[in-house]
Amino acid sequence: MTPPRKRALITGITGQDGSYLAEYLVGLGYEVHGLVRRVALEQPELRLGRLRSVLSQIQIHPANLDSYASIFHVLSQQRFDECYHLAGQSFVAESFADGFSTMSTNINGTHYVLAALKELQPKCKFYFAGSSEMFGRVHETPQRETTPFQPRSPYGISKVAGYHLSANYREDFGMFCASGILFNHESPRRSFEFVTRKISAGVARIKLGLASELRLGNLEAQRDWGHARDYVRAMHLILQQPEPDDYVVATGEAHSVREFCELAFAEAGLDYRDFVKRDEAVHRPAETDLLIGDASKARLVLGWQPTVGFVGLVKELVQADLELLASTTQQNPSAVHPG
Ligand code: F7E
């Protein structure tokens, strides 16, 4: 007899990570469910666009991270084997502008999901989306699971709180709660406000003659950038372990925004120095120190490793944006690419 299909719930399923994870789990034979804000159902072509390839195979439930009742309601209707909590306000710069809403959504949202699971489904495994932003002013380089946290943004603080909430539910109530401490992970599905996609979309606009410059903040900032498709595999592996635990997921290589620009413009046959302008308005009140992850534990215990390197990542983003913009302008010559 074939075993019953595993059932997974993904909060934040409409985002970059949520959509890749949904595709991955559907491919593994899971029954996949996702929480989305009700507004997404009113504009499905816009808000569910990243889920296009699996939309007919997954189940969507309206719920709001700010409402315990809505999360409780969904969890009272269905039993889940695994819950991936990816939803939240994820743009670090925005968290400086409005720390209150970032804290409220990210901390309370995580707490509501954990509390509802404890009440209704304490056996469901829980994945928390931790972040390298938790390290902030770093205590050692590269950073690993034992490196102390010292966040430098309201976003980082909210992630540290979520991490500790997850650890508390694990220790106090015996639930299977595990965190991935993910370093930056990108893809053509990234939103346009993040620097990688801002650059690749900017290159495409310039290449197609729709813009003449790209305004960026700190070009010397460095990040450990991987591919989101690789990182969702790690999320899944983390929940397949016999014991719940926390893992750093990273490539172990740091590159600067300047290097990203250099490669991205070169991919389109351009020199970034002719187009990139400094924009003081994009500078952040505080930057993290050098964030580089040591993913030895994930490699050793999970058998995980990234398949896409920095050069491959930059190429994929630029090629995808060139194709997207060329097809958009062909269909509607007056359309302006967002970003
Ligand atoms: O910035 C610098 C900026 O906004 C990267 C999220 O997924 O990863 C992400 O957070 C760096 C920073 O991502 C611009 O100052 C320069 O040093 O792409 P970002 P992030 O803040 O690292 C972590 C792991 C998360 O958990 C987050 O959710 O690039 N930078 N010029 C710029 N950044 C932006 N956005 N725009 C610029 O024009």
Domain extent at residue 259? 195-223+254-291+309-331
Does the pLDDT at position 24 exceed 90?
A: yes
pLDDT at 289: 80
Mean pLDDT throughout 122-139? 97
pLDDT at 284: 83
Q: How many domains does the chain have?
A: 2
pLDDT digits (tens, 9 = 90+) for 32-70: 999 999 888 888 888 899 999 999 999 999 999 999 999
131 counts as catalytic: yes
Q: Which of 23, 133, 186, 287 is catalytic?
A: 133
* Domain-located, residue 337: no
DSSP 224: -
Mean pLDDT throughout 192-202? 98
Q: Which of 95, 131, 187, 200 is catalytic?
A: 131
The finding on whether 92 has its CB within 6 A of some atom of ligand 1 is: yes
Looking at the structure, tell me whether residues 180 and 286 fall in a common domain. no
* Domain-located, residue 296: no
112 counts as catalytic: no
Q: Tell me the CATH number at 21.
A: 3.40.50.720
pLDDT at 239: 98
Does the pLDDT at position 334 exceed 70?
A: no
pLDDT digits (tens, 9 = 90+) for 167-186: 999 999 999 999 999 999 99
* Domain-located, residue 2: no
| Ligand 1 atom nearest to CA at 183 | 24
Confidence of residue 335 (pLDDT cuts 50, 70, 90): low
Does the pLDDT at position 302 exceed 50?
A: yes
The finding on whether 131 has its CB within 6 A of some atom of ligand 1 is: yes
Looking at the structure, tell me whether residues 171 and 258 fall in a common domain. no
pLDDT at 298: 98
DSSP 148: P
3-state DSSP helix/strand/coil percent for the chain, to nearest 5?
Answer: 45, 15, 40
* Domain-located, residue 89: yes
Q: Cα of 172 to ligand 1 centre, how many Å? A: 35
Does the pLDDT at position 30 exceed 90?
A: yes
**In terms of Cα–Cα distance, which of 255, 247, 227 is closest to 296?**
247
β partners of residue 52: none
* Domain-located, residue 304: no
**In terms of Cα–Cα distance, which of 68, 55, 72, 57 is closest to 14?**
55
Looking at the structure, tell me whether residues 217 and 229 fall in a common domain. no
The finding on whether 135 has its CB within 6 A of some atom of ligand 1 is: no
Looking at the structure, tell me whether residues 12 and 143 fall in a common domain. yes
